[in-house]
Amino acid sequence: GRADADLRGQLLSLGFAPPACGAPRAEILAQLRQALIWNQAPLAALQQACRERALQCRASQARSDLLQLLARASWEARGIPASRLLNQRAAQEALERIDALEVSG
């Protein structure tokens, strides 16, 4: 419903891909909670989150770079090759098309 759309919008505004359309609200909330935590997390916690997800990170990387790695991984998990697209808007448009196909199919 509308509340779920708002939660999905918050994830997008943080740079993270929302779960598939029709995903349970608990899943959307869990992803949003994680994104909000990462947004406030210290560098060491972000480095650990990247390592846990087998994302290539270096000790010298800035917080913003690590956040971007984690966000990009959320898009890749949805099948959107975010690192190969021009920008987040392009990734978001691709995801919207995929969601529309999943809903109609």
pLDDT, tens digit, 9 for 90 and up, residues 62-103 = 999 999 999 999 989 988 887 665 567 777 787 777 777 776
Q: Which residue range forms the structural domain that includes residue 80?
A: 2-104
Residue type, 89: R
CB 74 within 8 A of CB 50: no
Domains identified in the chain, total number: 1
How far apart are alpha carbons 17 and 92 in whole angstroms?
8
- Helices 43-52, 63-77: crossing angle, 10 deg rounding: 30
Report the C-alpha dihedral over residues 65, 66, 72, 77, rounded to 10 degrees.
Answer: 170
pTM for this structure?
Answer: 0.80
